[in-house]
Structure 1
């Protein structure tokens, strides 16, 4: 009987950290995982169930299966729940520490809990798989949403205005001007005289307009009439845009 008492006392003492466990910032336990039968139903959780819920990879360890479920609000981890874990006192004590550290770190880059190395490593792998899956889902949805938003913004900001038709001795001249906000981004000739001088002058006039961002551009030598008609129609488009 004298030899049996210390064993009983030590066994009871060994259970005290489990019954009185409170998560600590250091996140360590001093015991070692024992080879008990795994329990697939054992779980521990933290936080709200709202948001995007993603399951991590199921990992089979020598101590039993480990799988986490992570709740995200965008990229933020708001909750972690153990779906499967080894049925050991050391794991039971380690899980709240792992979850607490995950919520602080907002990643799987957390310390291994001493005495529960196998569970800690599997937890981090399952957690990382859930984080990767959430990021992949976000990146898949993001481009289409971005493209749609960008197209809408572009359509709202872009505006094309036709200038007045100016009848000259050489023929009618009319331009259309595309604006993004107040910026002139394009000029197109809707009507122009059918002359070589006009054909050569138009690209010069448009180029100078894009630089000057106004109708205050120089007349092209040899195409004075077309240049004057172009500038008049351009100014009318600028005035009409407001």
Structure 2
């Protein structure tokens, strides 16, 4: 195991893997995940529905003819990810994955796709990385920002980060993004969630604040909605409520 991996501190990628029923997590990740679940009992549903949204949205972008993808905050490989969804449509699609957890780096070792260990909060480190040579940024790219922007605090300029990434995309590119919200969480539960959020690293935002970062792009209908409801006609019905899932999603076209 990579010596940089701190098993005593919870990490979002490993905690998310725990909620999805994966095997790549440690006691600290499980304890953190359980504490959050105690305050928000539907958190596993949120993780599952966000994952399914990612798959549907990635497939949609591939169906529009996009053949290269930049997946930032990819997390630990698991079924239903970007690669699986995209390659069901376009087996030769090129994908560059990005994450800041050394354990994710380890799990990508030996896989054929390009991988960048970098932090979303430093977008130039991503865009200037040699591995980005696998993509032709002069042609459309599918930029995947699923369940990652809510780990950027307001004082870290999330709007500027999004703009830096969007400015690197050619017309015809698409952005897939999702973001947790506490819009529907009772005040007592919010207080409990905040107690498990040291340093405010997790920054849920309402749909309007999230959508504002993508002003000027063309939202794919139905626009910003719960991840459980975006193009979900083929999913098991009835769909979970926006209140239970607590995560908004959108797909937008760069013109």
TM-score with structure 1 setting the length: 0.22
Instruction: Answer with 1 or 2: which has the greater Rg.
Output: 1
More helix by share: 1
Greater relative contact order: 1 or 2 (C-alpha under 8 angstroms, separation 6 or more)? 2
TM-score with structure 2 setting the length: 0.22
More strand by share: 1
